[in-house]
Structure 1
Amino acid sequence: MIPKGSINTELEVTEDVETTRTYKITRNKIQGITDEIEALKQAIYKVLNTEKYEHPVYGFSYGIELESLIGKDSTYAQIELKRRIQECLLQDNRIESVDNFKFEAKGDEMICTFDVQSIYGEVEINKEVNI
């Protein structure tokens, strides 16, 4: 038997938007839920404080290599730090750019300040690194 009628050939495409809601971590404790810019700040903090290849629970692309900068010349460390920060943060599709790097050396530490432009707005991040 051949069906009578027609088949609707026009498909409606819908796009699911992933939420950024996640657990809020405060002083090493989970305390509620956060999303958007605050969730992004937390994700940036986590990736910049996770040594790459150190923890088997994370994939090889997660984290940043900082230990290999210890004992290096400060100019080399600045160039590499900028590249490594951009490399690890730009993997997040919420982040559009990482720029305006400023470095301040204090003894055997370097304080790196930079701006992250995201789909939620701009945020300034500080990261201390042993060199």
Structure 2
Amino acid sequence: MALTPIDIDELDELNETDVAGTAEIGPSKTYRLNFKTGEIEGIIDDDEAVLQFIQKAIMTARSRFFIYDNEYGCELEDIIGKNVSNELLEEEVPRLIKEAIEYDDRIESASNFVIERSGDQLQVTFNVALTNGKVLEGVSVSV
């Protein structure tokens, strides 16, 4: 009698790798979150799920919430609202966003950052290359 409802053979099949030796990336279905109300509004997948991951990873402070590991989240709030030069913002914001999102296995890279500053708010627009070959252009986040 098994102590778990999971069939070990099925679990082994899920963990197998393809011929090239890399794990196959599965579907990215997740709940659609309304960031303003905090409500769940259905299910999303593919590009929309990646865009939501990017938004949530950048909005979440790194190492502040025990539910997330140390790789999840962003450290942008450490420089937002502080009296830092535009040159520092131009260097640090892309680095911090890349660190927040590029560990996800669906994301290859982030590039072409455009940063607009308005008081203590930033509007950041950039492109994201996915591992499936797609490029999401004009990804925009407000922090």
Cα contact 1:64–1:84 (8 A) shared by 2: yes
CA RMSD of aligned residues (A): 2.0
1:93 is aligned to 105
1: CA distance, partners of 2:25 / 2:71: 24
Over 3 Å counting, the alpha-carbon distance change for 1:107 and 1:17 in structure 2 is closer
- Structure 1: runs of 5 or more not aligned: 1-12
1: CA distance, partners of 2:69 / 2:50: 19
1:74 is aligned to 86
Q: CA deviation at 1:44?
A: 0.8
Q: CA deviation at 1:86?
A: 1.0
Q: CA deviation at 1:110?
A: 2.5
2: CA distance, partners of 1:32 / 1:100: 32
Q: Determine if the alignment matches structure 1 residue 42 to structure 2 residue 52.
A: yes
Matched residue count: 117
Residues 1-131 of structure 1 mapped to structure 2, 5 A cutoff? 15=18, 17-26=25-34, 27-70=37-80, 71=82, 72-118=84-130, 119=132, 121-123=134-136, 124-129=138-143
1:72-109 residue CA offsets vs partner (Å, 9 max, x unmatched): 22211221111111112110111112001111222232
Question: Which structure has the larger Rg?
Answer: 1
Higher percent of residues as strand: 1
Cα contact 2:114–2:126 (8 A) shared by 1: yes
Percentage of pairs with the same residue:
32
Per the normalisation by structure 2, the TM-score is 0.72
- Structure 2: runs of 5 or more not aligned: 1-15, 19-23
Report which stretch shifted further, 97-106 or 70-79: 70-79
Per the normalisation by structure 1, the TM-score is 0.78
